[in-house]
Every structure is written in structure tokens, then in C-alpha cells.
């Protein structure tokens, strides 16, 4: 059942840059070391694309780690997108039980939280279903997240869906933020993300730009 005031259908069900806040949870060395649900390189690429998308579309982004001195810093690829930002380092496994994170999200005034984290069934699922209860609409970016097994990843997604969390992927989020190619000011940044992180679409796009004489070389 949809929570009161949360929209799941129609145009208002889609994300906009103005209503979104991005929360990236525990993309650290120790977490990646235990991840077995997906190729780690793919998760790194997807979460980096998501971070870059937030930068292009001016979406407030909150970075968080858990026990950084033992679990490792947030991965360089994300930190380089936000070089001046210090991740919130927690002791709580559930990010949403750290009041600093809750306050940081609230301070943005946004009601749509886009979340990705390691691991899916714990560090992503717990705050996602917790934030839903606080009246937020939560989008879980599953290809920028991972768990210790395929089973754990899938059960985490299933649990979130049962609670009303909306599953999505990194490319989908960025496309929703763009929405209209007439919004030309963000097209160059989006194109760079697609070229670097778009997989086979990115290579095809590079080829097309070459044939059209629009590549940078």
C-alpha cells in the first residue's frame, strides 16, 4: 500500500533534479572486498556515474562511511567527484540511525532520496525502509549497490520493494534527471558520463560522434 502523500504513478512519479537528494552509503574497500553479487568494477562504474550525474544536475549529495579507520575510505572515484566533501563516518550499521545523516538530508528540503550502498540487504535496505517511514520517497539504485551474494542482494531488493522503496538503476536515474534533450545546458555533462560509463552504448556513441565529425580528436 502506498504511504500517504507518496506518488507511484503519473508524471509526478518521476525524479527531478529539484526534488532529489543523493545518499551514497559505504562504498569502501572492506565492503567491496566482501561483495559477490556483481562484478565490483561494474558497481564502481555505476556509482561513479551516479555521483557525476548528481554533480551535473546539481543534486545535493551526502557521502557516508562506516568505521572508516577499519573499513577504508570511500573509493577514490567518488571522492574525486566531490573533493571538498568529507563523508559522514558512522558507527551505526543503519545509516538512518545517525542523526547527522538524517539532518543532512532534511536540510536539503528534498523529499526524494536516491540511495545506493554496500551492502544491499543491510546498509542500503535498512535506511531505505527507515526513511520511508519518515515520509520520504526512496529510490534504491540496485546496480550501484551490491551484497555478499546474489541471494542477499535479491532478498534485500525484495524487502525494500515490500516496504515501498522504488528500485531503479544508475542510468535510469540520470535519464530522469535529464528528461528532455531541450535542456541543453546539461547535455555535455551527460554525454561525458555516457561515454565513460555507458558500456556498449558509450562506445557506440563515441563511434557515432566520430562518424559525424563531432568527437574531440
Catalytic residue chosen out of the listed positions 123, 125, 174, 190: 123
- Residue-by-residue DSSP string for the chain: -PPTT---SSGGGS--TTTEEEEEE--BHHHHHT--SS-HHHHHHHHHHHHHHHHHTT--EEEEEESHHHH-PBPHHHHTTSTTPPPEEES-SSGGGSHHHHHHHHHHT--EEEEEEBSIIIIIHHHHHHHHHTT-EEEEEGGG-B-SSHHHHHHHHHHHHHHT-EEE-HHHHHHHHH--TT-GGGHHHHHHHHHHH-HHHHHHHHHHHHHTT-S--
56 φ/ψ angles, rounded to the nearest 5 degrees:
-60, -40
Query: Is residue 123 among the annotated active site residues?
Result: yes
**In the structure grid, which three cell numbers stand for residue 28, read together?**
569502501
- Residues recognised as catalytic: 123
Amino acid at each position: 500500500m502506498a504511504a500517504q502523500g507518496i506518488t507511484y504513478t503519473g508524471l509526478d512519479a518521476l525524479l527531478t533534479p529539484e526534488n532529489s537528494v543523493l545518499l551514497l552509503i559505504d562504498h569502501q574497500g572492506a565492503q567491496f572486498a566482501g561483495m559477490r553479487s556483481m562484478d565490483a568494477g561494474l558497481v564502481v562504474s555505476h556509482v561513479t556515474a551516479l555521483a557525476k550525474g548528481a554533480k551535473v544536475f546539481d543534486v545535493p549529495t551526502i557521502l557516508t562511511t562506516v568505521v572508516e579507520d577499519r573499513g577504508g575510505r570511500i573509493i577514490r572515484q567518488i571522492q574525486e567527484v566531490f573533493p571538498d566533501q568529507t563523508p559522514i563516518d558512522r558507527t551505526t550499521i543503519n545509516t538512518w540511525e545517525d542523526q547527522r545523516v538524517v539532518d543532512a538530508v532534511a536540510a536539503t528540503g528534498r523529499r526524494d532520496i536516491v540511495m545506493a550502498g554496500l551492502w544491499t540487504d543491510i546498509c542500503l535496505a535498512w535506511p531505505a525502509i527507515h526513511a520511508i517511514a519518515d515520509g520520504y520517497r526512496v529510490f534504491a539504485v540496485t546496480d550501484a549497490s551490491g551484497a555478499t551474494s546474489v541471494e542477499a542482494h535479491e532478498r534485500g531488493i525484495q524487502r525494500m520493494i515490500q516496504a515501498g522503496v522504488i528500485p531503479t538503476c544508475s542510468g535510469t536515474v540520470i535519464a530522469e534527471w535529464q528528461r528532455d534533450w531541450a535542456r541543453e545546458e546539461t547535455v555535455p555533462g551527460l554525454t561525458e558520463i555516457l561515454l565513460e560509463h555507458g558500456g556498449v552504448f558509450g562506445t557506440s556513441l563515441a563511434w557515432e560522434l566520430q562518424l559525424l565529425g563531432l568527437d574531440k580528436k
